[in-house]
Structure 1
Amino acid sequence: MSNAYLECKNLIRHHGHVPAIQNVTFRLEKGEILSILGENGCGKTSLLRVIAGFDQVTDGEIFIRDELVSSRNFHMPPDQRKIGMVFQEHALFPHMSVQKNIEFGLRSFKKSTRIALVRDAIKLVGLENLEDRFPNQLSGGQQQRVALARSLAPLPDILLFDEPFGNLDIRSRGMMRRDLSKILHEQGVTSIFVTHDRDEAFSMADRVGIMNAGKFEQMDRPEKVFSSPTSQFVAQASGSCSFIPGIVANGFVDTELGKLKYICDNTSNVPGQEMELLIHPKDFKARVSESGLGTIVSKEFRNGESILHIKLQSGLELELHQPPNPEFLFGTNVKLDLIKDSPFIAFKR
């Protein structure tokens, strides 16, 4: 017997002859939150749908609390899986009050239990004194809280979220992320988010899975995925970054920014091996210099930082995030000073 709350084994799902999920395997413990990050069409929503029971797997198995719920030859209906789902579209009933919307999914409970569950859910998501309002009397964030309360009220084993904050403005989205993460961790609700929003994925989850073409490229703690990506695809999905080419020589990678320490697999310490080094935006510091190797070709001010795109003599562009500096003007030549102490992640070319 497994201790996993949710376990997916070798899942395959085809849409006709097109593979949407390809041999996906992972497990979640009770109370663990997983974010699945990927672009449209990568298979993340297809994965949610087979877990929820809306679609049947082509092959593989899904277990919830050690009970088989999906396989090639068996399919437990969605209403028997004790799974809640929250969508980008809140799907609230416009003719029902907040209380009635939340109570709708509790028809199988006796009345006294329904009242208690609705009361607890309303308090949990911070909707006290709004019970009698209708959806058109609520803000987008409040409507999303109603949808969340409706999913939490039946005490599901697992909650699934499909782009839940996509219709909210930036401020409401940030507040909902923080509040929801707090609620889910406090209540110990095993949850999966699918999103194409990098900040959303990394800020809420205990683990992040980077999905591409129906497969997980990497699944690990957010810090690990960011600092030690297993592929260039994962690195680009995890945050702003650049890649600079070079050649292995004397234990370093020789690049146009100088000889840089690197880390890669044991077979890569071969003189002459072509590599690409992962450069994060704060690995180098720019300073104005007429003899600099780079030229500022664009500049944005964002979140208290100057976002610089610097074109090197080779034509390669690097993105750097720097403290504001009035000398950073379009067309200015700059030198790049190395700040990073640890070796650069390297990928074979």
Structure 2
Amino acid sequence: MRTRILGSTGPEVSALGLGAMSMSGAYGEADRAESIATVHAALDAGVTLIDTADFYGMGHNELLLAEALRGRDRDSYRLSVKFGMLRGPSATDFGGADGRPKAVKNFLAHTLTRLGTDHVDIYRPARRDPDVPIEETVGAVKELIDAGHVRHLGLSEVDAATVRRAHAVHPVADLQIEYSLISRAVEEEVLPTLRELGIGLTAYGVLGRGLISGHWSADRVGRDGDHRAASPRFSAGNVEHNLALVESLRRVAEAKGCTVAQLVIAWVAAQGEDIVPLVGARTRERLAEALPALGLDLTADDLTEIEKAVPPGAARGDRYPAALMSGLGVGN
């Protein structure tokens, strides 16, 4: 397993991370035993970065990971945890973000209990609270770092100006943000800022929530609770256009001797040694497909062909429903 360091102050982690969100109902019901087996398979393969959030399944995901990680050497993996998103009893009830310092500490207290650990390796607000200066939210995380409950500060889905303000309070290890062939807004201002400040990037959505994995089809019916049913990129009219892009990618992948999923993961990894792609595999089969992407070395010609197949801005539809776009630091 190759490794990368998250920025100039962050930890050394596997060059591919495991995102656990889909194991807790985001894309419909998941098989608990298979989810745990997938975490075990990832660890056994050398994956050391596991990403979760306290609001994934309203605590379900952290409890699941606690079970999956039980008995493992705590120093053998790194837990990246997002906090601050407010939820209601309904799966679609989002109440904004809470970045108040007293709330930050409260969130972590519950997270540590659910995960069964005395610290998390990277702690990050999932979204910026517009009513709380980022300096106050980050200041609370800094206090938790000083107390030994958190190892590193991370950020998620914020713009370049917010990155600078946060970094001035405490060094930021990495920014977690959506980055894929069909989500490239980060390249304009955010990524150059991260590199100027020595901050890493953990990229989620590298497979476009499955849309550019090579496994999606326009007639696929989402299971109950699958949030992709509300995603503009999966809606009728848009999905057909986006899947045509995938077919162009498939031709490049076949010429390279790999799958579409492996090609698009490798493309993200090839954008810089300071970038760690996260894959949301919830089965061992999908994990096994993703892992060889790390050994896929893309030539300059390969990258040119990939960009021809999916030029910047080629995807149709926003990456989130309209109600959630306003909370993002960058667009598509």
TM over 0.5: no
Q: Relative contact order: is structure 1 or structure 2 higher (C-alpha 8 Å, sep ≥ 6)?
A: 2
TM-score, structure 2 normalization: 0.34
* Structure with the bigger percentage of helix: 2
* Bigger-Rg structure (1/2): 1
* Structure with the bigger percentage of strand: 1
TM-score, structure 1 normalization: 0.33
